[in-house]
Protein backbone atom coordinates (compact mmCIF):
# COMPACT_ATOMS: atom_id res chain seq x y z
CA UNK A 1 0.00 0.00 0.00
CA UNK A 2 1.22 3.52 -0.82
CA UNK A 3 0.96 5.86 2.14
CA UNK A 4 2.52 8.93 0.50
CA UNK A 5 1.44 9.88 -3.01
CA UNK A 6 3.99 11.00 -5.67
CA UNK A 7 2.74 14.55 -4.90
CA UNK A 8 3.83 14.05 -1.28
CA UNK A 9 0.33 13.81 0.19
CA UNK A 10 -0.91 11.28 2.75
CA UNK A 11 -4.08 9.15 2.53
CA UNK A 12 -6.13 11.87 4.22
CA UNK A 13 -4.58 14.63 2.11
CA UNK A 14 -2.15 15.92 4.75
CA UNK A 15 1.49 16.79 4.20
CA UNK A 16 3.94 14.54 6.15
CA UNK A 17 4.56 17.15 8.88
CA UNK A 18 0.96 18.26 9.24
CA UNK A 19 -1.14 17.67 12.36
CA UNK A 20 -4.77 16.67 12.08
CA UNK A 21 -7.40 19.29 12.90
CA UNK A 22 -7.36 19.98 16.68
CA UNK A 23 -10.45 20.79 18.69
CA UNK A 24 -11.32 20.95 22.40
CA UNK A 25 -14.13 21.86 24.76
CA UNK A 26 -14.10 22.63 28.47
CA UNK A 27 -16.43 22.09 31.41
CA UNK A 28 -18.82 19.70 29.75
CA UNK A 29 -19.51 17.55 32.84
CA UNK A 30 -21.36 19.39 35.61
CA UNK A 31 -20.40 16.88 38.33
CA UNK A 32 -16.65 16.85 37.67
CA UNK A 33 -14.25 19.44 39.11
CA UNK A 34 -12.67 19.70 35.67
CA UNK A 35 -13.54 18.17 32.32
CA UNK A 36 -12.51 18.52 28.71
CA UNK A 37 -12.75 16.83 25.34
CA UNK A 38 -9.82 16.77 22.95
CA UNK A 39 -10.00 15.86 19.29
CA UNK A 40 -7.17 15.13 16.88
CA UNK A 41 -8.91 14.54 13.55
CA UNK A 42 -11.41 11.73 14.08
CA UNK A 43 -9.93 10.66 17.41
CA UNK A 44 -12.07 12.09 20.18
CA UNK A 45 -11.55 11.61 23.92
CA UNK A 46 -13.13 12.87 27.11
CA UNK A 47 -11.35 13.51 30.43
CA UNK A 48 -12.93 14.10 33.84
CA UNK A 49 -11.07 15.18 36.98
CA UNK A 50 -12.31 14.90 40.57
CA UNK A 51 -10.38 16.47 43.42
CA UNK A 52 -8.16 17.17 45.11
CA UNK A 53 -10.12 15.44 47.87
CA UNK A 54 -9.38 13.37 50.93
CA UNK A 55 -7.61 10.06 50.19
CA UNK A 56 -10.21 7.28 49.99
CA UNK A 57 -7.91 4.43 51.07
CA UNK A 58 -5.95 5.67 54.04
CA UNK A 59 -3.10 3.22 53.46
CA UNK A 60 -2.41 4.94 50.11
CA UNK A 61 -2.14 8.45 51.57
CA UNK A 62 1.19 10.26 51.20
CA UNK A 63 1.77 12.81 53.96
CA UNK A 64 3.94 15.06 51.80
CA UNK A 65 2.01 15.02 48.53
CA UNK A 66 -1.19 14.23 46.68
CA UNK A 67 -1.70 10.88 44.94
CA UNK A 68 -3.11 10.52 41.43
CA UNK A 69 -5.49 7.74 40.35
CA UNK A 70 -6.05 7.33 36.64
CA UNK A 71 -8.41 5.18 34.62
CA UNK A 72 -8.21 4.86 30.81
CA UNK A 73 -10.99 3.12 28.90
CA UNK A 74 -12.17 2.79 25.31
CA UNK A 75 -15.91 3.02 24.76
CA UNK A 76 -17.40 -0.12 23.14
CA UNK A 77 -18.53 2.06 20.21
CA UNK A 78 -15.21 3.91 19.82
CA UNK A 79 -13.83 1.89 16.89
CA UNK A 80 -17.08 1.20 15.07
CA UNK A 81 -16.73 -2.53 15.83
CA UNK A 82 -18.88 -2.15 18.96
CA UNK A 83 -16.62 -4.61 20.73
CA UNK A 84 -16.92 -4.52 24.51
CA UNK A 85 -13.56 -3.38 25.84
CA UNK A 86 -12.88 -3.59 29.53
CA UNK A 87 -10.99 -1.00 31.49
CA UNK A 88 -8.92 -3.77 33.04
CA UNK A 89 -7.43 -5.36 29.91
CA UNK A 90 -3.64 -5.22 29.58
CA UNK A 91 -3.52 -2.24 27.24
CA UNK A 92 -5.94 -0.16 29.32
CA UNK A 93 -4.03 -0.94 32.51
CA UNK A 94 -0.76 0.05 30.80
CA UNK A 95 -2.25 3.28 29.48
CA UNK A 96 -3.79 4.16 32.85
CA UNK A 97 -0.32 3.80 34.39
CA UNK A 98 1.37 5.82 31.61
CA UNK A 99 -1.09 8.70 31.84
CA UNK A 100 -0.89 8.70 35.65
CA UNK A 101 2.90 8.80 35.42
CA UNK A 102 2.77 11.79 33.05
CA UNK A 103 0.35 13.62 35.36
CA UNK A 104 2.52 12.91 38.42
CA UNK A 105 5.41 14.65 36.68
CA UNK A 106 3.18 17.61 35.79
CA UNK A 107 0.99 18.35 38.83
CA UNK A 108 2.52 20.18 41.82
CA UNK A 109 1.58 17.28 44.10
CA UNK A 110 3.54 18.62 47.06
CA UNK A 111 1.13 21.56 47.35
CA UNK A 112 -1.74 19.15 48.18
CA UNK A 113 -0.46 16.80 50.92
CA UNK A 114 -2.57 13.78 51.98
CA UNK A 115 -5.05 14.30 49.17
CA UNK A 116 -6.14 12.47 46.05
CA UNK A 117 -6.88 13.47 42.45
CA UNK A 118 -8.93 11.12 40.26
CA UNK A 119 -8.60 11.31 36.48
CA UNK A 120 -10.81 9.36 34.08
CA UNK A 121 -10.12 9.31 30.35
CA UNK A 122 -12.53 7.74 27.92
CA UNK A 123 -11.95 7.21 24.20
CA UNK A 124 -15.21 8.12 22.47
CA UNK A 125 -13.95 7.72 18.91
CA UNK A 126 -10.68 5.98 17.97
CA UNK A 127 -8.75 6.77 14.81
CA UNK A 128 -5.16 6.34 15.99
CA UNK A 129 -3.19 8.32 18.54
CA UNK A 130 -5.60 7.80 21.42
CA UNK A 131 -2.87 7.80 24.08
CA UNK A 132 -1.65 11.26 23.07
CA UNK A 133 -5.20 12.61 22.77
CA UNK A 134 -5.93 11.24 26.27
CA UNK A 135 -2.85 12.90 27.76
CA UNK A 136 -3.88 16.23 26.19
CA UNK A 137 -7.49 15.90 27.37
CA UNK A 138 -6.35 14.98 30.90
CA UNK A 139 -4.06 18.02 30.96
CA UNK A 140 -6.89 20.34 29.92
CA UNK A 141 -9.26 18.83 32.50
CA UNK A 142 -6.60 19.25 35.23
CA UNK A 143 -6.19 22.91 34.22
CA UNK A 144 -9.96 23.37 34.14
CA UNK A 145 -10.13 21.98 37.70
CA UNK A 146 -7.67 24.70 38.75
CA UNK A 147 -5.03 22.18 39.86
CA UNK A 148 -1.54 23.75 39.93
CA UNK A 149 1.03 22.38 37.46
CA UNK A 150 4.76 22.79 36.74
CA UNK A 151 4.11 23.40 33.06
CA UNK A 152 1.53 22.64 30.43
CA UNK A 153 1.94 19.08 29.15
CA UNK A 154 1.33 18.27 25.49
CA UNK A 155 1.57 14.97 23.63
CA UNK A 156 1.87 13.96 19.98
CA UNK A 157 3.08 10.91 18.06
CA UNK A 158 5.02 10.52 14.82
CA UNK A 159 5.80 7.55 12.63
CA UNK A 160 7.74 6.46 9.56
CA UNK A 161 6.17 5.11 6.38
CA UNK A 162 7.37 5.03 2.76
CA UNK A 163 10.81 6.31 3.94
CA UNK A 164 9.16 9.46 5.29
CA UNK A 165 8.68 10.74 8.85
CA UNK A 166 5.01 11.54 9.35
CA UNK A 167 3.30 13.42 12.15
CA UNK A 168 0.19 12.42 14.09
CA UNK A 169 -0.75 9.15 12.35
CA UNK A 170 -4.34 8.11 11.89
CA UNK A 171 -5.44 4.48 12.33
CA UNK A 172 -4.82 3.50 8.69
CA UNK A 173 -1.27 4.82 8.92
CA UNK A 174 -0.77 3.31 12.38
CA UNK A 175 -1.79 -0.06 10.94
CA UNK A 176 0.91 0.27 8.24
CA UNK A 177 3.43 -1.56 10.42
CA UNK A 178 5.94 1.27 10.78
CA UNK A 179 7.23 2.61 14.07
CA UNK A 180 4.97 4.77 16.25
CA UNK A 181 6.84 7.15 18.55
CA UNK A 182 4.66 8.83 21.17
CA UNK A 183 6.12 11.83 23.01
CA UNK A 184 4.86 14.15 25.73
CA UNK A 185 6.73 17.27 26.79
CA UNK A 186 6.77 20.21 29.18
CA UNK A 187 7.45 22.87 26.53
CA UNK A 188 8.56 25.69 28.83
CA UNK A 189 10.74 23.48 30.99
CA UNK A 190 12.12 21.83 27.85
CA UNK A 191 11.54 18.42 29.41
CA UNK A 192 10.46 15.11 27.90
CA UNK A 193 7.76 13.57 30.06
CA UNK A 194 7.02 10.49 27.93
CA UNK A 195 8.82 8.65 25.14
CA UNK A 196 7.35 5.39 23.91
CA UNK A 197 7.76 3.47 20.71
CA UNK A 198 6.61 0.24 19.21
CA UNK A 199 8.55 -1.57 16.48
CA UNK A 200 12.28 -1.43 15.89
CA UNK A 201 13.68 1.72 14.32
CA UNK A 202 17.15 2.68 13.03
CA UNK A 203 18.93 5.32 15.12
CA UNK A 204 19.12 7.93 12.34
CA UNK A 205 15.43 7.41 11.49
CA UNK A 206 14.54 7.64 15.18
CA UNK A 207 16.14 11.07 15.48
CA UNK A 208 13.99 12.44 12.64
CA UNK A 209 10.79 10.84 13.92
CA UNK A 210 11.42 11.91 17.51
CA UNK A 211 12.22 15.48 16.40
CA UNK A 212 8.99 15.59 14.41
CA UNK A 213 6.91 14.28 17.35
CA UNK A 214 8.51 16.96 19.55
CA UNK A 215 7.60 19.68 17.01
CA UNK A 216 4.04 18.29 17.02
CA UNK A 217 3.96 18.50 20.84
CA UNK A 218 5.01 22.17 20.67
CA UNK A 219 2.25 22.96 18.17
CA UNK A 220 -0.30 21.10 20.33
CA UNK A 221 0.92 22.99 23.43
CA UNK A 222 0.48 26.31 21.65
CA UNK A 223 -3.06 25.35 20.65
CA UNK A 224 -3.89 24.20 24.19
CA UNK A 225 -2.53 27.42 25.71
CA UNK A 226 -4.63 29.57 23.35
CA UNK A 227 -7.75 27.54 24.10
CA UNK A 228 -7.19 27.68 27.88
CA UNK A 229 -6.69 31.42 27.73
CA UNK A 230 -9.86 31.89 25.67
CA UNK A 231 -11.76 29.68 28.16
CA UNK A 232 -10.57 31.71 31.15
CA UNK A 233 -11.50 34.94 29.37
CA UNK A 234 -15.00 33.57 28.64
CA UNK A 235 -15.39 32.63 32.33
CA UNK A 236 -14.24 36.09 33.43
CA UNK A 237 -16.82 37.75 31.16
CA UNK A 238 -19.59 35.43 32.41
CA UNK A 239 -18.78 36.14 36.07
CA UNK A 240 -18.69 39.90 35.56
CA UNK A 241 -16.50 42.46 37.38
CA UNK A 242 -14.99 41.34 40.70
CA UNK A 243 -15.86 43.49 43.76
CA UNK A 244 -12.92 44.18 46.05
P1 LIG B 1 -2.25 4.41 20.59
O2 LIG B 1 -2.53 5.84 20.66
O3 LIG B 1 -1.98 3.80 21.92
O4 LIG B 1 -1.21 4.06 19.56
P5 LIG B 1 -4.48 3.83 18.91
O6 LIG B 1 -5.33 5.00 19.09
O7 LIG B 1 -3.68 3.76 17.66
O8 LIG B 1 -3.57 3.62 20.17
O9 LIG B 1 -5.38 2.53 18.98
C10 LIG B 1 -6.12 2.17 20.12
C11 LIG B 1 -6.79 0.85 19.90
O12 LIG B 1 -7.93 1.03 19.08
C13 LIG B 1 -5.94 -0.17 19.23
O14 LIG B 1 -6.28 -1.44 19.77
C15 LIG B 1 -6.32 -0.04 17.76
O16 LIG B 1 -6.09 -1.24 17.10
C17 LIG B 1 -7.80 0.31 17.88
N18 LIG B 1 -8.30 1.24 16.86
C19 LIG B 1 -8.00 2.55 16.75
N20 LIG B 1 -8.67 3.12 15.73
C21 LIG B 1 -9.42 2.14 15.19
C22 LIG B 1 -10.33 2.07 14.11
N23 LIG B 1 -10.60 3.17 13.39
N24 LIG B 1 -10.91 0.90 13.82
C25 LIG B 1 -10.65 -0.20 14.54
N26 LIG B 1 -9.79 -0.21 15.60
C27 LIG B 1 -9.18 0.92 15.91
Distance between Cα 193 and ligand 1 center (Å)? 22
Q: Express each pLDDT in 5-51 by its tens digit.
A: 999 999 999 999 999 999 999 999 999 999 999 999 999 999 999 99
CA–CA dist 138, 49 (Å, integer): 8
Please give the distance, rounded to the nearest whole angstrom, from the Cα atom of residue 148 to the centre of ligand 1. Answer: 31
Give the predicted TM-score (pTM) of the model. Answer: 0.95
Which of 130, 166, 176, 198 to mutate to test ligand 1, by most ligand atoms within 8 A of the CB atom?
130
Detail the DSSP E strand segments found in the chain.
22-26, 34-40, 43-54, 67-74, 115-125, 154-161, 164-167, 180-186, 191-198
Give the pLDDT confidence of 52-102 residue by residue, as tens digits. Answer: 999 988 888 888 999 999 999 999 999 988 776 666 789 999 999 999 999
Amino acid sequence: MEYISPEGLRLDGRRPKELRQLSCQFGILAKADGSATFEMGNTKVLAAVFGPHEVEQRSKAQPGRAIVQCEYAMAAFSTGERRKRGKTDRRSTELSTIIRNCLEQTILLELMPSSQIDVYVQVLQADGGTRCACINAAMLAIAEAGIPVRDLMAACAAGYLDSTSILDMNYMEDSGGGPDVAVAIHPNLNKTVLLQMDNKIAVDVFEGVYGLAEQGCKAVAQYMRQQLLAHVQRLAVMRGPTRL
